[in-house]
């Protein structure tokens, strides 16, 4: 799609799918157009007869605010869940806003704050709050032959514990940007957004191989709780199922909303998984360690 066509489509609502999530996004902001041009060119488009889950608008500021400290607004079908952000953060606001849309309206899944990657049908869950090094490790794994299911959330089907892929651009912050650029030559980044609440950040493009032929019916087999610690040796430590269960609850978006069902789904997941804590400094060592775990 040419930039001209993309701009036109974005103006009246670009409809596309990420895994099983159908999105319509409209925006005339140049930063958003660039974001889509750089990172979303390989996603499947939807036509007007397809059901849309989330109608999103990233809105330019009013005429007055366009010149004086311009701001950007996020709308979910006419509802404004956030305060406006500085104009330069428009693309990041779309990504954060979409995270919010999915995590607050998808209780047909058990949702865990985690990265998910897959190789040869084996699925790995990397749970963790911001700052634990989950996204950095996830990006490194994706650069080393693993396929991205999601950088931000696990959507686990309540009926059978299977994981749905939502492979969206990986958000990397501050030093992680350089680290991943040095780790692999093939990575593509969108433009860097500076001075956000989380520091400087950029989004890494999902490799095309991650977008092709994801079946979305695999059951996870390993849970690794990553913990980045400078100057530490790479260390895997087995975690008991009970401890892992509690840590998964802590990282869940909606365990409380699902009640008994949440307990049952999570039990099924934990039963099937080997669980580890991973302390790491060197990404290379962490990745090769994870690969070796897979071979055992």
Partner 1 sequence: MVINTPLIVCLRNILHDEIKLSNFEAMDWELVVRQARKANLLSRTAYFLRENNLLASLPDKVQGHFISALYIYDANVQAYCWEVEQINSVLSDAGVPCLLLKGVAYIESNLMSRKGRVFSDVDIMVPKDQLKKAERALIKCGWITSDLNPYNQKYYRLWMHEIPPMTHLTRHSNLDIHHSILPPTAKLKPDNNKFWESCISLDKNNLYTLSQVDIVLHSATHLFHEGEFDNGLRDLTDLDLLLGEFSIDRSFWDKLLNRAREQSLGRPLFYAMRYSSIFLQTKIPAGVLKDMESEAPPKFLVNIMDFLFLRALLPNHVSCSDQWTGLARWILYIRSHLLRMPLYLLIPHLLRKSWMGFFAKKR
Q: Which residues are at the interface with partner 1 (CB under 8 A)?
A: 22, 49-53, 55, 77-79, 105-108, 254, 256-259, 261
- Tokens standing for residue 126: 């990397």
Distance of alpha carbon 3 from alpha carbon 36, whole angstroms:
10
CB-based contacts of 278: which residues, under 8 Å, 6+ apart? Answer: 137, 224, 225, 226, 227, 234, 235, 236, 237, 286, 289, 290
Among 99, 107, 154, CA closest to 273: 154
For the bound state, the minimum distance from the C-beta of residue 47 to partner 1, rounded and expressed in Å, comes to 12
For the bound state, the minimum distance from the C-beta of residue 105 to partner 1, rounded and expressed in Å, comes to 6
Distance of alpha carbon 65 from alpha carbon 42, whole angstroms:
34
For the bound state, the minimum distance from the C-beta of residue 23 to partner 1, rounded and expressed in Å, comes to 12
Question: 């809105």: which residue's tokens?
Answer: 59
Please, what is the end-to-end C-alpha distance for the chain in angstroms?
44
The smaller minimum CB distance to partner 1, of residues 111 and 172, is found at 111
For the bound state, the minimum distance from the C-beta of residue 156 to partner 1, rounded and expressed in Å, comes to 14
* Per-residue 3-state assignment (H helix, E strand, C coil) for 156-173: EECCCCCEECCCCCEEEE
Q: CA distances (Å), 184 to each of 3, 144, 177, in order?
A: 28, 9, 11
CB-based contacts of 73: which residues, under 8 Å, 6+ apart? Answer: 58, 59, 61, 80, 82, 84
The 8-class DSSP code of residue 218 comes to B
For the bound state, the minimum distance from the C-beta of residue 77 to partner 1, rounded and expressed in Å, comes to 6
The smaller minimum CB distance to partner 1, of residues 157 and 219, is found at 157
The smaller minimum CB distance to partner 1, of residues 234 and 254, is found at 254
Distance of alpha carbon 73 from alpha carbon 137, whole angstroms:
31
For the bound state, the minimum distance from the C-beta of residue 259 to partner 1, rounded and expressed in Å, comes to 6
The smaller minimum CB distance to partner 1, of residues 26 and 251, is found at 26
For the bound state, the minimum distance from the C-beta of residue 48 to partner 1, rounded and expressed in Å, comes to 8
SS3 65: helix
For the bound state, the minimum distance from the C-beta of residue 136 to partner 1, rounded and expressed in Å, comes to 31
Distance of alpha carbon 286 from alpha carbon 228, whole angstroms:
10
- Tokens standing for residue 197: 């609440």
The smaller minimum CB distance to partner 1, of residues 157 and 270, is found at 157
Report CA 66 to chain centroid distance, whole Å: 31
The smaller minimum CB distance to partner 1, of residues 230 and 259, is found at 259
The smaller minimum CB distance to partner 1, of residues 1 and 158, is found at 158
The smaller minimum CB distance to partner 1, of residues 159 and 295, is found at 159
């Amino acid at each position: 799609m040419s930039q001209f066509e993309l701009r036109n489509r974005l103006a009246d609502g670009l409809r596309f799918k990420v895994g099983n999530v159908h999105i319509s996004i409209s925006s005339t902001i140049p930063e958003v157009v660039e974001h889509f041009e750089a990172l979303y060119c390989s996603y499947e488009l939807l036509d007007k007869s397809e059901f849309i889950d989330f109608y999103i608008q990233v809105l330019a500021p009013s005429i007055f605010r366009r010149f004086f400290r311009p701001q950007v607004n996020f709308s979910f079908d006419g509802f404004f869940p956030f305060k406006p952000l500085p104009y330069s953060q428009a693309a990041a606001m779309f990504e954060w806003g979409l995270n919010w849309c999915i995590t607050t309206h998808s209780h047909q899944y058990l949702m865990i704050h985690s990265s998910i990657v897959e190789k040869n049908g084996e699925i790995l869950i990397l749970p963790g709050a911001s700052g634990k090094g989950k996204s950095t490790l996830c990006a490194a794994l994706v650069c080393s032959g693993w396929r991205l299911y999601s950088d931000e959330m696990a959507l686990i089907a309540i009926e059978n514990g299977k994981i749905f892929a939502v492979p969206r651009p990986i958000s990397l912050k501050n030093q992680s940007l350089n680290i991943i650029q040095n780790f692999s030559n093939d990575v593509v980044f969108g433009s860097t957004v500076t001075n956000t609440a989380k520091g400087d950040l950029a989004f890494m493009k999902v490799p095309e191989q991650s977008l092709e032929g994801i079946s979305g019916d695999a059951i996870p087999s390993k849970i690794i709780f990553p913990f980045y610690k400078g100057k530490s040796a790479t260390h895997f430590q087995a975690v008991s199922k009970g401890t892992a269960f509690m840590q998964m609850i802590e990282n869940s978006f909606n365990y409380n909303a699902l009640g008994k069902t949440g307990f049952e789904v999570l039990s099924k997941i934990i039963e099937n998984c080997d669980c580890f804590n991973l302390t790491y400094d060197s990404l290379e060592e962490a990745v090769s360690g994870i690969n070796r775990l897979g071979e055992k």
